Structure 1
Amino acid sequence: MKLVGIVGSIAEDSYNRKLMMYMANHFRNYADIEVVDIKDVPMFNEDQDATNSAPIQYLKHRIENADGVIMATPEHNHTTTAALKSVIEWLSYKIHPLENKPVMIVGASYFSQGSSRAQLDLREILEAPGVRGLVMPGTEFLLGDAKEAFDEHGNLTDGQTIKVLTKMIEKFIKWVDVMQALQGPEPADAWKNEDLTASGKADTTIEGVKMNDPEWVEKAAALTKAASGHDYVQLDRGILTVDQINWFLKSIPAELTFVDDNNQFLYYNHNKPAERMNASRRPEQAGLPLSEVHPDIRNVHDHVKQVLHILRTGKQDMFQLSEPQDRKNVKWVVNNYQAMHDESGNYRGTNEIVLDFWPIVKKYLEMTGQKLVDDPANAVDTDASASVADDEGSANDQPENDEPDTGASASVK
């Protein structure tokens, strides 16, 4: 289950942020809780509409792609914070991602009241007609005297408090399941919410250089003081120089691409000119949002959105498309899209591997002495690998495509 945790405080040293981070770590076996920040969201002002700004669009997409939301609120003068109230105003002005979204409220306070009045205030806001969040009823988690509640590692120390919070999380997960059952399956067009313009922001987004700058790689590297050349990089199971990593990736007999969780095209293993690639890419495209990498012809953007939505939402961890590109010279290209996750299971982007697998098949036949024999009774479905079965075993989520070259249309570069 995917949950979004929103902290109502923008203070650097926040007990509510500590509480949310503890929940994300301690309950990772229950759910994937992604903690998002609201410090960059501007104060709500109808005269200066910021609905399409990066911070608000980022929150919108995170909430839409989550099964539920947890909000942690401090108490300021018997109410929730101005910062959180402003965020909810933006999320109920022209966009409504919280509508029919299950929400759980928690809170921590410096003294003994545990943000009880702020939670009541926040509950009324979330249930307002313009917001329509589905706030879990009948429960409150009030962490009072928060200054004494955590150890030096950010863990709660009181066993009874942990027990209460655990029961509340378990109840919320059931609440989410019940609300989803009442609402029915995800709308068939939910994939349309996938943002190919990379207008949001991931925690690895490099700011300070325009995405469409043809020298994005060089300028982003200078801005971040990125390692290069003979600099060593410690990997999960090895230490290599940047040069060695480049040599290694370029030597892999496939075309590799990396797109982050904000749908920004960050990398490909540049080992041949664009005109010789199966899925053409150019050096100046690195850094672009996917909307600019792909020309929007033949509904390409819709195909890409569908593939990314399938991977982001966990319907599939891998998505494959295959097509014969040159029947005369025997060339069959497979586009393999793989969802990438961090150690906590959070979606962190998609990698694409484009491979002509005929040389592998040919070598296998040579080594085994076997032959490929046509079966006249075999009806080949060239789009079969593009199907995504739902719970009933149907292919309702198959990317719409009336073109035979499915792989070229949906290539996530």
Structure 2
Amino acid sequence: MKLVGIAGSIADQSYNRTLLKFIAKRFEGLVDIEVLDINDVPVFNQDDDQTNCAAIQNLCKKIEGADGVIIATPEHNHTVPAALKNVIEWLSYEVHPFDAKPVMIVGASYHTQGSSRAQLHLRQILEAPGVNAIVLPGNEFLLGDVKNAFDENGDLKDQRTVDFLQSTLQNFIRFAKVINMIGQTTDYEEEDLSAKNGTDTTVQGVDMNADDWLDQAAKKVNAVEGDSYVKLDSGLLTVDQLNYFLKTIPIELTYVDENNQFIYYNDFLPTEKMLAKRTPAQVGDALDKVHPQISSVLKHVKQVINTLRTGKTDLVSMPVPGNDEKTHVVHYYKAMHDEAGNYKGVNEWAVDIKPIVDEYLRETGQKLVNDPNARVDAITGASENPEVDTTTGASDTLQKIAKPEVKIDTTSSASKH
């Protein structure tokens, strides 16, 4: 993967440039990073358009040609430096290389906050109309007391800080591969999230967005319940038994039909405890109702649904941004088909695989160790294409990608310097 790095300072002695150069040197086995120079960028002035000057054109081409961008920002008066804001002004005026580009933010400062306020502002700037970058949610690397953080060779001294930086970079590599993959989808715009077309199993005459859709629809079709038997391909169960079975499977299951209607989830946990939060009132809703009404969110939903519908891949898998040493939540999406091969919707399951891995290690007496030569592969599951969690509006993962929540990391060693 090819990344470019931008330091938000034009000072001769820039610790943020030193940080970027360290990342490029230390993790060259994971990723190829080119650190760009912003020293020659002119002061932004709409009345004197210099978009075509060499400095701006070079930045634009380098960013467009990269798989992602790492921006290292100092903190000046509780915000980003003027030099960095100036660069973003030029790159969101007549040219827009940040549009849909994955961006990771890091930062170093003299004080203990580690540029936290500048990083918060930078996220907001990068998500502004005209910039439209897609910023890695969470995973913030905040390097404080930077004068004492590096040795004479420009290397970070503290190993815990280096380890946390590596985990953050690995998360960004996964994130960037996902974002770039869905951005390559070109035939998604006609994907209808309103579920207005219906399908042969759509319950007619009932408002699908009604909070009590389940009760109304069940009454409309005389749905069986209780101790009525249902003949399945490989079993005979009552409706009660089927519910017992599904609600005790220790993963979160969701069904979205081929009409993009959210019609089922196994309600085995309170909403606030779920990995992908869902509510009974959402059952029956069209996907454009259960997702936030944000264009970037809906765009990515369409892209991924269309990827599954058209058979570009039949399995979507993605680790959730923000995983740490205690959890590793993964969302999987499987395209469903009938006996004739016709697309019949999406089967989603969300699971924290960390307890499963821990149990395996305990039972076998093995342990996980870091492989310093490993190249991080963002592709999980059987799919050859890395994907993103966007199938149900009940899940908030995509919203975090398109409109990430900013959470300052106070647990990493980087924030303790």
Q: TM-score normalised to the size of structure 1? A: 0.48
Relative contact order (alpha carbons < 8 A, sep ≥ 6): 1 or 2 greater?
2
Q: TM-score normalised to the size of structure 2? A: 0.48
